[in-house]
Amino acid sequence: MDLDTMLADLAELVTCESFSADHEAVARSAALVGELGRRALGEPPETVVIDGVTHLRWSFGTPKVLLVGHHDTVWPIGSLSANPWSVVDGVARGPGVFDMKAGLVQMFHALATLPSPDGVCVLVTGDEELGSPTSRPLIEEAARGCAAAFVLEASADGGALKIARKGTSNYELVVHGRGAHAGLDPGKGANAGVELAHQILAITTLADHVNGASRAQGSGREDGDAGILGPVTITPTLSSAGTTVNTVPARARVAVDVRVPTLAAQHRVDELLRALSPRIAGTRLEVLGGPNRPPLEPDSSAALFALAQRVAAGLGLPPLAGAGVGGASDGNFTAGAGCPTLDGLGAVGGGAHAEGEHVIVAEMPGRAALLAGLIEAVRG
């Protein structure tokens, strides 16, 4: 594969900013990605716009292989001026270069080497960085019935494929209290802020409860422990309470980030959060949100990872490593839909979502060749 052409395509994508929250920018990016795909596949994509978000889909024959990527990024418009596109000493930099525009370039160049795209479905979404609120149904629908889903998200450290991902849940705990004058009648209030403090402390103990539940029952495996993925984490994050400095807070809230290695642990955390009870008379709790992405458990990727190792060896590529990661992707949805899934087939580099985001450009042709070999092996 021609690395110069790959880099020219990558430069086009990176310099077309595509901040997830800017629908017009995402639409411009989709047009560019669609043209890149048209050149590789010989056909324009089906453009699917849902609630203003632009997604792209190609489907050839009866798909056996699903290729999944996204073209939106976390970088606000204007980030390119502070973090410009560059290639220096074999390292490409720029907003979204690693997560995951280089993966899209590798995907299209891999497809261009195939004798035919028959049996392949390509889905490039525009809201993955937001949790895929509009694209999830498209992803799950495409995954059902496919023999394999290959996700072009960036690799783990050192180029490792992502063979497991924690599932994610997002909650907001809202405390409803009763306001009162903080100086004249504090006793007439029900302090939502103080109640929130109690609840945050309670939330921080829930992960230990889930992680140790099965061990206490004498089973061989903890609900919260899935080996390479590690335990459940439940993290209170953004919080607020009250309206003015001299008023007993009538309302308070905290966001809660949950990461789980197994579906059973995800369900258990949901039960525990919804079972929280108030400590202060006159307050009540409201739990909003819930599970977002199911976990990509190791069993879903094991056979495909073994296949990838064989394909890599046949191509003369270095041995592949596998890693479990706490971050989620659309691969969680494909696995949750019952489709065997292998993730992290995209760029080798690092620094996702940070100023140091970068791609090792010499790795791009080999990763594209690996993907092409996997597609051929699965579709037969």
Pinpoint the residues of the chain covered by CATH 3.30.70.360. 167-293
Evaluate if residue 10 carries a pLDDT over 50.
Answer: yes
Domain 3-166+295-379 in CATH 3.40.630.10? The answer is yes
Class in CATH terms, 167-293: alpha beta
| Each residue's pLDDT tens digit, 275-332 | 999 999 999 999 999 999 999 999 999 999 999 999 999 999 999 999 999 989 999 9
State the pairing for strand pair 120-125/65-70.
Answer: parallel
Q: What is the DSSP string of 231-295?
A: --EEEEEEEEE-SSTTEE-SEEEEEEEEEESSHHHHHHHHHHHHT---SSTT-EEEEEEEEEE--
Residue 189's φ and ψ, nearest 5 degrees, are: -90, 170
Task: Select from 113, 194, 129, 201 the least CA-distant residue to 168.
Answer: 129
How many alpha carbons lie under 13 Å from residue 67 in its C-beta half-sphere?
Answer: 33
Q: What is the pLDDT of residues 112-132, one digit of tens each?
A: 999 999 999 999 999 999 999
307 close to 347: Cβ distance less than 8 angstroms: no
> What is the rounded CA–CA span in Å between residue 173 and residue 256?
8
- What is the model's pLDDT at position 172? 98
Domain(s) labelled CATH 3.40.630.10 in the chain stretch across 3-166+295-379
Span 29-56, mean pLDDT?
A: 98
pLDDT tens by residue, 194-203: 999 999 999 9
Q: Please give the structure tokens belonging to residue 295.
A: 């976990």
- pLDDT band (50, 70, 90) for residue 342: very high
The pLDDT tens digits for 234-250 are: 999 999 999 999 999 99
> Are residues 77 and 12 in contact, defined by beta-carbon separation less than 8 angstroms?
no
Listing DSSP states for 187-229 in one string gives GGSB-HHHHHHHHHHHHHHHHHHHHHHHHHTT-SS-TT--GGG
Tally Cβ neighbours within 10 Å of residue 105.
Answer: 32
